[in-house]
């Protein structure tokens, strides 16, 4: 079955559609309320005027300029060190060594006032006795010194704050100026008890000579071994040991006051059977 509109011309169809549209609008307006036929003109509707204003776009905020980082200052290149010119060598005359002060001439050796030919010994019947050194042959009243030595004398001046008639501190009085010579205790038993073992086993006898100082209180000091015979048997050591432990009767000067003096003591070692 064919469509009846297929044979119509195209303009006919367009016209029909226009008419249909007009009729539809008219019908719609006819049924609109408050609209009567023959009535006066209707109140105009409030017109809303719409104006389109072209607003200018907001001005863009100026961009803060970026702070450019300051370039780091370049370190200046160190200038090349200029070597100073070498100092001219100057020749200096050698300094003369300082002249040493002239030393005063040495004093002439003084003749020692000693009584080396007079010795104390533990031999004899008494606890200790003064004996002449073998070979002297006689006693001597004057001091014994080296041949040709110069006697310089000694100062007898007093000391500030000293006591009249005192002998002073550290003054050693010669044996010849004493009213009493120092007296040691008996050393025979002590020497027998300390007799060197080696010498006793071999039956060796001997002696030792010791020089020492006796103080005002009778104490011995400054012991010095002069000789021992025979050697290698400790006779000198034993003699010093016995003398060091002994308490002497102090020497007295001409006024009877205790003083210091120096003496020579001979220890005799004998084996008793």
Name beta bridge partners: 248. none
At 189-245, the pLDDT tens digits run: 899 999 999 999 999 999 999 999 999 999 999 999 999 999 999 999 999 999 998
Query: DSSP code of 177?
Result: G
- Which of 3.90.550.10, 1.10.3720.10, 2.40.50.140, 3.30.2420.10 is the CATH number of 118-138+169-269? 3.30.2420.10
Strands 252-253 and 178-180: antiparallel
Cα 81 to Cα 30, 66, 78, 96, 270, distances in angstroms: 114, 43, 8, 41, 95
Given CA atoms 233, 236, 237, 238 in this order, what sign does their dihedral have?
positive
Cβ atoms of 267 and 187 within 8 Å: the answer is yes
| Residue spans per domain, the chain | 118-138+169-269
End-to-end alpha carbon distance in the chain: 191
Q: What is the C-alpha separation between 174 and 212, in angstroms, rounded?
A: 13
Q: What is the C-alpha separation between 214 and 250, in angstroms, rounded?
A: 7
Q: Which residue has the higher pLDDT, 149 or 201?
A: 201
At 12-70, the pLDDT tens digits run: 777 877 778 888 877 777 666 554 555 555 555 555 555 565 666 666 666 665 566 66
Q: Give the neighbor-by-neighbor strand order of the sheet with 261-269.
A: 129-132, 118-121, 261-269, 206-214, 220-229
Helices vs strands, H then E, count in the chain: 4, 7
Q: Which of 50-54, 139-143, 248-252 has the highest mean pLDDT?
A: 248-252
pTM tops 0.85, yes or no: no
Q: What is the C-alpha separation between 179 and 252, in angstroms, rounded?
A: 6
At 60-90, the pLDDT tens digits run: 666 665 566 666 767 767 667 777 777 766 6
């Amino acid at each position: 079955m064919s469509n009846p509109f297929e044979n119509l011309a195209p303009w006919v169809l367009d016209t029909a559609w226009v008419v249909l549209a007009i009729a539809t609008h008219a019908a719609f307006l006819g049924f609109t309320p408050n609209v009567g036929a023959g009535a006066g003109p209707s109140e105009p509707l409030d017109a809303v005027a719409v104006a389109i204003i072209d607003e200018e776009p907001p001005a863009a905020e100026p961009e803060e300029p970026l702070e450019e980082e300051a370039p780091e200052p370049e370190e200046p290149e160190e200038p090349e060190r200029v070597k100073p010119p070498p100092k001219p060598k100057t020749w200096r005359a050698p300094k003369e060594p300082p002249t040493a002060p002239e030393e005063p001439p040495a004093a002439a050796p003084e003749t020692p006032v000693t009584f080396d030919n007079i010795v104390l010994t533990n031999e004899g019947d008494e606890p200790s006795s003064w004996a002449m050194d073998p070979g002297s042959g006689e006693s001597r009243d004057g001091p014994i010194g080296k041949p040709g030595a110069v006697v310089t004398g000694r100062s007898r001046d007093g000391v500030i704050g000293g006591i009249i008639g005192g002998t002073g501190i550290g003054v050693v009085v010669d044996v010849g100026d004493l009213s009493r010579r120092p007296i040691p205790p008996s050393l025979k038993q002590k020497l027998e008890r300390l007799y060197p073992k080696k010498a006793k086993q071999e039956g060796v006898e001997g002696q030792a000579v010791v020089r020492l100082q006796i103080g005002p209180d009778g104490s011995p000091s400054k012991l010095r071994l002069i000789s021992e015979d025979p050697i290698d048997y400790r006779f000198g050591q034993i003699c010093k040991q016995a003398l060091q432990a002994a308490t002497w009767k102090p020497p007295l000067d001409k006024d009877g006051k205790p003083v210091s003096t120096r003496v020579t003591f001979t220890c005799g070692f004998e084996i008793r059977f």
